[in-house]
Homo-oligomer: A and B are copies of this chain.
């Protein structure tokens, strides 16, 4: 299911969007200000973000900057400002689209579909195998010795990030950002705990990992 994060301070608009999006089968989170937006973006991992520029606590382009750099999901800006300078700034800051209020709901939904469609084709080659286990990115499943392995949401998310960049080193900072959000960049002990759990569940010999490898001082690497 596609998850949408709505960042908007006017309750009426939030309500209208929530109803329309829910009716089309989207899952909806809502944030009334920039702080909550950054927080929810990290915790809920939306597939697309609808962002109002007129927030009470911070400037809209600031929010965009705060999201970009660690998030690549599409950002569609909603704004009452028609000034083209405003549009140019938002788009160059990293927004994917800019819709002026008042907007037509059907047009907004169409632009949202277009944005999601563009970002979607990551569902290729969704199966990565090793001698010990098999990861299916699309189905979100891991098989080992012919049986499904049960992973917690966080465990899965870490594994997903590592497998997506198979063979490449993923810095601990990057890993923490993508899984827990930018505020957790220093909590390296989280990684130690969860990598240990993943190894216990996936590696034939957890003490001597062959696929989930630690590069001391730098990060972790998934080796197919």
Whether the pair A110, B139 counts as a contact (CB closer than 8 A) is no
Judge whether B216 and A152 touch: CB under 8 Å.
yes
A141: Cβ under 8 A from any B Cβ? yes
Residue from the list B106, B114, B139 in contact with A95, Cβ < 8 A: B114
Contact yes or no, B113 A92, CB < 8 A: yes
Whether the pair A87, B114 counts as a contact (CB closer than 8 A) is no
Whether the pair B114, A91 counts as a contact (CB closer than 8 A) is yes
Does A39 reach chain B (CB closer than 8 Å)?
no
Cβ of B215 and Cβ of A140 under 8 Å apart? yes
Closest CB-CB distance, A165 to chain B, in whole Å? 8
- Could you tell me if B138 and A168 are in contact, using CB atoms closer than 8 angstroms? yes
Q: Is the beta-carbon distance between B118 and A104 smaller than 8 angstroms?
A: no
A218 to chain B, nearest CB (A): 5
Instruction: Identify which of residues 125-151 in chain A touch chain B, using a CB-to-CB cut-off of 8 Å.
Output: 138-141
A167 at interface, CB cutoff 8 A:
yes
> What is the bound-complex CA distance between A113 and B138, given in angstroms?
31
A169 at the interface (CB under 8 A from B): yes
Residues from 57 to 77 in A contacting B, C-beta threshold 8 Å:
72
Q: How far is the CB of A12 from chain B (nearest CB, A)?
A: 20
Task: Give the residue of B110, B121, B139, B216 whose beta carbon is less than 8 angstroms from that of A153.
Answer: B216
26 intermolecular pairs with C-beta atoms under 8 Å apart: A72-B121, A84-B104, A84-B107, A85-B106, A87-B110, A88-B109, A88-B110, A91-B110, A91-B114, A92-B114, A95-B114, A96-B118, A97-B97, A97-B114, A98-B111, A138-B168, A139-B167, A139-B169, A140-B169, A141-B167, A141-B168, A141-B169, A152-B216, A153-B216, A153-B218, A156-B218
* Chain A residues proximal to chain B, CB less than 8 Å: 72, 84-85, 87-88, 91-92, 95-98, 104, 106-107, 109-111, 113-114, 118, 121, 138-141, 152-153, 156, 167-169, 215-218
6 extra interchain contacts, Cβ-Cβ under 8 A, other than A141-B169, A156-B218? A87-B107, A88-B106, A96-B114, A140-B168, A141-B167, A153-B216
